[in-house]
Structure 1
Amino acid sequence: MIDRRAAAARLASGLLRTVTSGGPPVAYALIALCCLVFLISPLSGFNPSYGTADALLAAQAGYFERWGVIPSELWDGSARALLTPLTALFVHGSWLHLLGNMLFLYVFGAMAEERMGHAEFTFFYLGCGYLALVGYAAAHASSDETLVGASGAISAVLGAFLYLFPRARVTSLFPFLFFLPLRFPAWIVLIFWFVLQWLAVQGAGSGGPGVAYLAHVVGFALGFLYAWGRYRRTDRVKTPATATEGESQP
């Protein structure tokens, strides 16, 4: 039998080791930071100081409330509440949530950072991620559910990637095609992904609690519009870029 927790830990360790192998430092540092935050949090199950059973569940709930975005509290004007759309970008609810987001950041963030530059990519990632969560909170202003995760920021990276590298070929896995690895231009994969998110938003949460599809849509739109406004007077990558690999959804 496969130990899922051990397997996930090995995958996280692999992402952390990637930071030391060179490449875009900001994207890799963000991956390392998200992994580190998760490992030391009560969500990973690796920190015995949080206890077990009911004590662990209480610690997890308190952790979300402290660092996540609670839409109904965001507009009270407190400095702590206004900071949560930033801190929430580094909080993930599960191993699957973390590794899915980090995979997309690893695949698409590196090329976006190389195109934008380190400092600009940092402000782009944090700024768009912040606004994506605020946009979701504005549309659900009375909600008491906590919102966490880097999906809004990573969706912005996908939007920028679509404008900057539309012809880069991406290896994707589509469930309805029996998960066969197929290569498509980035514009096909990313537009398909965006349409799925938009349809999920129209479904009014049909993806289940905790899936903030609207934050994905807002982040993607912000990223695309930023890249269009910033780089429309410069040449985009018109020749096929170095092949990347990803999945159908962050």
Structure 2
Amino acid sequence: MIPIRDENPTGSPPHITRFIIGVNVIVFFVIWLSDYVALWSGFEPPSLEVAVQKYGMIPFNIMNGKQLYTLFTSMFMHGGIIHLGGNILYLHIFGDNVEYAFGHGKFAFFYFLCGIVASITHILSITTTADLLIPTVGASGAISGVLGAYIILYPRARILTLVLIRFLYITRIPAVFFLGFWFIFQLLEGVLTLGLGVPSGVAYWAHIGGFIAGMVLGLTVRGRRKPRI
């Protein structure tokens, strides 16, 4: 299932959401262009590898109190255009309403807090594995927090969704079902990677931790959500 848009108008422009999207896009293409230049000019290692090692979140370093700034910087780095595009799509669709509910300043704090909680959850899930040395990048954990808040604040909002079951079709799905299915999938995959030791290139427990953090924080504004204009 791929979300196209939600049918949930907001009352003010999502300035923070747009800013975060813009920074993610700029960072990605700056690194990509630098990597391209480094690769073709013969410099080793390519700048992408250098950037990931310097600004990606390496769990082992965090556990030892080193490079704590990467808990923040890793949220603006992505491993590829599909990784970036998927995150931007979800943040664009769900971020505006959550930002409106929290207010601009509090939403920024909420977003980064969810990202940090997501990173910590990921670290806790791999404490006894070699994955502690693998850098983690991406805004997925923070955006999972946005999804968690959305399911609490707007469970009945309709999500226009592209579905592939034998053939492609578009339908409207309530947010509680769309995001609920998304979370259950992350949870099942997370249990597989944790319990069976199945290797994965996806930080499922970061998604789980971010989503739960978003749900909890969403409850703090649910009762005082601003009326629509």
TM more than 0.5? yes
Alpha-carbon distance in 1 for matches of 2:110, 2:38: 35
More strand by share: 2
1:157 aligns with 2:146: yes
1:169 aligns with 2:158: yes
Q: What is the Cα deviation at residue 56 of structure 1?
A: 6.8
Q: What is the Cα deviation at residue 234 of structure 1?
A: 3.5
1:121 aligns with 2:107: yes
Quick check: 1:71–1:138 contact (8 Å CA) kept in 2?
A: no
Gaps of 5+ in 2: 1-11
| More relative contact order, 1 or 2 (CA 8 Å, 6+ apart) | 2
Q: What is the Cα deviation at residue 58 of structure 1?
A: 3.4
1:82-119 Cα offsets, whole Å, 9 max, x none, are 11111000000100000110011000001111111000
User: 1:9 — aligned with what?
Assistant: none
1:73 aligns with 2:61: yes
1:146-201 Cα offsets, whole Å, 9 max, x none, are 11000000000000000001111001123335342110111010001100101111
Give runs of aligned pairs for residues 50-199 of structure 1, distance below 5 A: 50-52=38-40, 55=43, 58-78=46-66, 81-141=67-127, 142=129, 143-176=132-165, 178-199=167-188
Alignment equivalent of 1:219, drawn from 210, 223, 228 = 210
Secondary structure of 2:159's aligned partner: strand
CA separation of 1:122 and 1:177: change in aligned 2, threshold 3 A: farther
Q: Which amino acid aligns with 2:213?
A: L
Alpha-carbon distance in 1 for matches of 2:16, 2:53: 27
> What TM-score, normalized to structure 1?
0.77
Secondary structure of 2:75's aligned partner: helix
1:220-241 Cα offsets, whole Å, 9 max, x none, are 000001111x13544698xxx9
Gaps of 5+ in 1: 1-21, 242-250
Q: Which amino acid aligns with 2:143?
A: I
CA separation of 1:181 and 1:54: change in aligned 2, threshold 3 A: farther
> What TM-score, normalized to structure 2?
0.84
Alpha-carbon distance in 2 for matches of 1:183, 1:26: 27
Quick check: 1:108–1:158 contact (8 Å CA) kept in 2?
A: yes
Q: Which amino acid aligns with 1:26?
A: I
Alignment equivalent of 2:24, drawn from 26, 30, 34 = 34
* Seq. identity, %: 33
User: Does 179-188 or 23-32 show the bigger shift?
Assistant: 179-188
Paired positions, count: 212
Q: Which amino acid aligns with 1:192?
A: F
Alpha-carbon distance in 2 for matches of 1:53, 1:220: 42
CA separation of 1:53 and 1:218: change in aligned 2, threshold 3 A: farther
Q: Which amino acid aligns with 2:24?
A: C
Quick check: 2:35–2:46 contact (8 Å CA) kept in 1?
A: no
Quick check: 1:165–1:236 contact (8 Å CA) kept in 2?
A: no
